[in-house]
Structure 1
Amino acid sequence: MELTTAGREIYERHLRPMLDGPSGPEKTRALRLAMAEHGLLGLNLPEKQGGLGLPLLDTLLVTQTMQHCHSSLGGIAHRSSTGAVGAIAEYGTEDQQERFVRPLCEGKIGISIGITEPEAGSAATAMKTRARIEGDEVVLNGRKQFVSAVNVNHYTLVYCRFGTTGKASDIGAVIVPHDAPGFSHSSGTVNMADELLFELYFDDCRVPLSNVLIDGGAFGKLISVYNAERLGSISRMVGSAEAAYDYALAYSKERKQFNRELSDFQGIQWMLAEMRVKLDAAKLLLYRAAANASANGLPNPTETSIAKVFVSQAAKQICDDAIQILGANGYTKEYPLVHRYAEVRGGSIYGGSLQIHKNMIASAILERPISQWKRD
């Protein structure tokens, strides 16, 4: 409670005034610096690398709170603690940690993550982007899709192939500067939540060899850290769902029909009760996965998938019910619920679709691998 209370106080005193007016890259960078100044970045990252060294659970509570306050703040908190930087903090060299983790904790840089490709969505291991080492450089060729915050960040952690076997063991990761020769990106596509998503292009893109995080043979390690990123995204869904619930609850106590408050009608009472049940259950599954994480903050894959499936579905229903309680008002963009629904809707897709996560849960339950690849 102290973390969430402190987060809300920082929001009200220092961050909320900065949100007035049009949004844009400069405002996002200013917010990032302000959040760093008030200790809201690098929450779970090691203290020796510039972070606060908080447990994963505490980190997610802060991200959830920031998302409840405003989605832009939730995104910054997530990307600067449980985002791509986590892999660098866990597996990077001391030089990489000093060059990338520390300045990120200070709000000076941002790091995106590039995994998805036009022909490699749920089948992430089908990625084709390749890297070859030439002297003291690594040269990348390929393409990434649906990458967020490229216009405000300075680097992207790019998953790519170092080998030619076509297996997951070929996959490694490179930290690509956005000013690297041969790198370019699209102008962006707007999703339901009014967020820009970018395509990245690598045309003999040359990056210093010292920016190679993992040169293949460790895809499992990358995914183990990525599970923390998944929980970060889930905490944002919980924050949005809770904001929608709080708004609908307050509205039901003020709005009158038939000379009665909406909250006097049993139909509305039951909707609110069901929303609260789903919200509390979502929190508990998220918190369990975070609390049971290993000493270095790596969560259990199955508990992560269980939280992902339940929270994605529950958050959508909570936001949808909140819109229903507001009626036609809730269906307009004059009220915040349309945007809150859009924020959680993507959770069923990004970070692995619900169907993929259900397969992963089934694999754990049955104690055997379940391949989705078509057999020859």
Structure 2
Amino acid sequence: MDFQLTADQREMVNTVRAVTQEKIKPRSLQYMDGSFPWDSMKDLASIGVLGMAVPEEYGGSGLSVLDTALVLEEVAKGCYVTAMALMGEVGVQVRIISTYAPEAIKQRILPGVCTGENMLAVCMTEPHAGTDVANYRTNTDIVGDKLVLNGTKTLISRVDEAQMFVVFTRINKQPGREGIGCVLIERDTPGFQCTARYHTMGGENLAEITFENCELPLENLVIREDGFRRLLTAFNTQRCLNPSVSLGLAEGAFEEAVKYCRDRTAFKRPIGEFQGMRWKLAEMYRDIEIGRSILYRACATANPFPDPYQAALAKMYCNEMAIRVTSEAIQVHGGYGFTDEYPVSRFYRGARYGTLGGGTTETLKELVGKKIMADFPHDGFLGMGSF
């Protein structure tokens, strides 16, 4: 087993780290008002990051899930809002298009994703159905050579910035899981309307979209058959990328805590010389390293999408770990940690999102628990513990 990054991966991480620390992190406070991090996205586009999930034949670099997670981890150390904006360009919506969409759509959309000209959003959650995908009410009817989309999606990122939206929908009102498919809609389509907006504690804006008799060309039907399984399979990538942001937030907060422990003095010596502070740092570092191991292992299973149970474990652990570590970083800073002037408070607010998006912790625990009851071997752990 080799747990070392390759030379190419190290070069990539170092490049992203330099851009993040020099350009993106200094802007992080200004994005807390909900403004989109356009300048930061341009910086990332300039080093080829936006095309990571796009195959080479469409102008991207076609990097692995692990490579993508490494980049998101670095960006999250500097700015949560930028990391979330980037995840939208390298996450589930782009991978769904590059894996399942008709060739005409791939050629029309994917090259522009690499340059930042085409920005995609994914529409999954509905006001009454988040995890309960099988009870979607949004529906697309196939009427001759066109599609007619109706319904409502909520808690959608980048509604004001995206040009195209990947919408999971029922097809021809077919009930249950078997009826789930996926269509692509452009924002200027008649009947497309933003009906509500929400500002999050992490700084980004979310919104609600209503589709009223939106007519689309038939080629915009991305997935018709076996859509539910394909949706969940593709979403396992998101369950690795979401925790990579959590991991980066925890690392960023930890780095700030170490710096503060070295610089802040009390009773005529650095506070890092007190056992209570050292123990906090030791526990934070331990939790981060555990999370890194679980996450990288899950990412390495991708072919092209990660193992669902490894991804679930990574998300469960890293999401909750980030909340603990960022909270402890605030405690290390004392009252200053509660202010906007110190970045640890922003790391904490961003970390709180992780357990909510991409499948709640409770849902994933149930998924893994069922797997254990069904398949855990009677003679116990084998090899590295997978089953």
TM-score with structure 2 setting the length: 0.89
Unaligned runs of 5+ in 2: 1-9, 376-387
Residue 328 of structure 1: CA displacement?
0.9
Residue 213 of structure 1: CA displacement?
0.4
Counterpart code for 2:327: D
Which of 199, 217, 221 in structure 2 is aligned with 1:190? Answer: 199
CA RMSD of aligned residues (A): 2.0
Contact 1:28 1:152 in 2 (8 A): no
2: CA distance between counterparts of 1:16 and 1:258?
32
Residue 165 of structure 1: CA displacement?
4.2
Contact 2:119 2:162 in 1 (8 A): yes
Residue 152 of structure 1: CA displacement?
1.2
Equivalent residue, structure 1, for 2:301: 292
Equivalent residue, structure 1, for 2:361: 354
Equivalent residue, structure 2, for 1:220: 229
Counterpart code for 1:69: G
Cα 1:363/1:138, change in 2 over 3 Å: same
Does residue 232 of structure 1 match 2:241?
Answer: yes
Residue 222 of structure 1: CA displacement?
1.7
Equivalent residue, structure 1, for 2:5: none
2: CA distance between counterparts of 1:25 and 1:333?
15
Equivalent residue, structure 2, for 1:305: 312
1: CA distance between counterparts of 2:29 and 2:315?
33
Cα 1:253/1:24, change in 2 over 3 Å: closer
Residue 12 of structure 1: CA displacement?
5.0
Cα 1:220/1:107, change in 2 over 3 Å: same
Does residue 155 of structure 1 match 2:164?
Answer: yes
Counterparts in 2 of 1:86-97, with a 5 A limit? 86-97=95-106
Does residue 117 of structure 1 match 2:121?
Answer: no
Residue 203 of structure 1: CA displacement?
0.9
Equivalent residue, structure 2, for 1:337: 344
Equivalent residue, structure 2, for 1:316: 323
Counterpart code for 2:275: Q
2: CA distance between counterparts of 1:315 and 1:19?
18
Equivalent residue, structure 1, for 2:380: none
Cα 1:293/1:355, change in 2 over 3 Å: same
1: CA distance between counterparts of 2:316 and 2:170?
29
Secondary structure of 2:354 counterpart: helix
Residue 31 of structure 1: CA displacement?
3.6
Moved more, 110-119 or 75-84: 75-84
Contact 1:112 1:155 in 2 (8 A): yes
Secondary structure of 1:327 counterpart: helix
Equivalent residue, structure 2, for 1:363: 370
Deviations 1:142-163 (A, max 9, x none): 1011001111111111110014
Residue 34 of structure 1: CA displacement?
3.5
Residue 82 of structure 1: CA displacement?
2.0
Counterparts in 2 of 1:75-90, with a 5 A limit? 75-90=84-99
Counterparts in 2 of 1:46-125, with a 5 A limit? 46-125=55-134
Which of 326, 334, 338 in structure 1 is aligned with 2:333? Answer: 326
Deviations 1:242-261 (A, max 9, x none): 10010011101111112221
Residue 23 of structure 1: CA displacement?
7.6
1: CA distance between counterparts of 2:361 and 2:29?
36
Counterparts in 2 of 1:114-153, with a 5 A limit? 114-153=123-162
1: CA distance between counterparts of 2:253 and 2:246?
11
Equivalent residue, structure 1, for 2:275: 266
Counterpart code for 1:286: L
Secondary structure of 1:9 counterpart: helix
Residue 124 of structure 1: CA displacement?
2.0
Alignment size in residue pairs: 366
